[in-house]
Amino acid sequence: MRVCALCSVCVVRAGLGSGLFSLRRSFSSLPALCARKRSSEYSCVDSELYSSLVRAVVSTRTSAQTPESIESEDARLFGAVVRSKPKQAPKKTLKNPCPLLNEAKSSVRSQYEEEAMTRIALRRNSDQPALPSVTKILQKTMSASQLFYLERWKRRKIAELGEEGFREYSMNLFKHGKLFHAAIEAALTQETSPKEDVDCLEDMTGYLQSIGHVLEDVTGVRAIESVVEHQSLKYLGIMDCVAMYRGSLCVIDWKTSEKPKPFLHNTYDNPLQVAAYIGALNSDNNYNYQVENGLIVVAYKDGSPAHSHRLNAEQVTQYWEKWLFRLEEYKEKDV
C-alpha cells in the first residue's frame, strides 16, 4: 500500500500504527519541505489602485497599438522618417552617336516619287575585310535573358526531336524562310517563276493567305531583297522590301512564326533590325531617297491573319538609338 509521507492523515487512515509517525515526522522536518513560500514582488502593490487598468487590458482582444500610433510614437522618439529615393543607374551615353537621316540626301519627300525597283545582291570583296551583318551583330549582343530563353527552347526541341531531328528542323526553317520571301517577291512583282519553283511555292499557300490583307495595302515597291550598307558605321544587311504601306514609305520585314505574335514586344529584336536597315539605307548612296517608317509582318502557316506592327518615325528613332548601343557593344567585344 502506498503511503503519503507528507500527510499524517493518510497514515492514520491506513491504520499503519505509530511506527510510521516517526517516518512522517522525519519527512516533515526536511528543510526543503518546511521552507516558507517566497513572497511575490507585487504583493505590496495596491491592486485596487490599478484594478481598472487591469480590467481594460484583459477585456480587450486586440492590441491598443495601430500602425499609425506606432509611427507617431516613433516620430516623437526618433524624429520624422526620411524616405530616400532609390538610386538610379546613370544613363548610358553613346560614344559614337549617328543621326538616322542623311543630310546629304534629298528631302524625305522624294520618297513618294515613282522609281524603278532596286535589287542589289550581296558581293564579298576578298581584298577588304567583311563587314558584319545586322543579324550577326544582334546575335552576338543578346542579353543574358534572351540567351537563356533561346537555349531553353533549343533544349526542348532537341529533347522532342533528337539531335538529328533538330538539325533537320533548323534546315527546314531556313528553307521555308527562303521560299516565303520568294513567294512574296513573286506576288509583289508579278514575275513568273520556273516550274520547279512553282511546285515548291505551293507549300507557301497558308503563309500567302495569312498576309493577303497586308499585301492589299502594299504599293509602289522600291526595293526587294536588296543589300544596304552604312557608310560610316560599317555594317550591312539585306532588306526584305521597301514599299509604300498605307501612304508611308516603309522598310518591310516579313517574318514567319509558329506562335502568334500580336504585340510588338513579341517580335523581340526585330524592331532594332528594321531600324538598322533604315539607317543603313539612308546612309547608302545606292538609294537616292530616305525612309523614316518601318513595318514588321508576322505570317502563319495555317493561314490565320498575319499580325502587322507598324513603326512610326518616332519609334524608329528610339529603336535606332538602341541599335547603336548594340553596335557599340559588338565592336567592343570584337576588338
The residues assigned a catalytic role are 240, 253, 255
Alpha carbon distance 90, 95 (integer Å): 15
CB 273 within 8 A of CB 179: no
How many C-beta atoms lie closer than 10 Å to residue 159's C-beta? 9
By CB atoms closer than 10 A (0-12, 13-18, 19+), residue 221 is middle
By CB atoms closer than 10 A (0-12, 13-18, 19+), residue 76 is exposed
SS3 category, 242? strand
By CB atoms closer than 10 A (0-12, 13-18, 19+), residue 77 is exposed
Going by C-alpha positions, the residue among 247, 313, 335, 331 that lies closest to residue 99 is 313
Owner of C-alpha cell 538609294 = 287
Beta strands in the chain (DSSP E): 218-230, 235-245, 248-256, 293-299, 307-311
Count of residues for the chain?
Answer: 335
* Torsions phi, psi for 324 (to 5 deg): -60, -40
Contacts of 288 (CB under 8 A, 6+ apart): 105, 106, 110, 115
Cell of 261: 505574335
Alpha carbon distance 185, 85 (integer Å): 55
CB 311 within 8 A of CB 319: yes
* CA separation, residue 112 to residues 61, 80, 108, 224, 225 (Å): 79, 64, 8, 17, 20
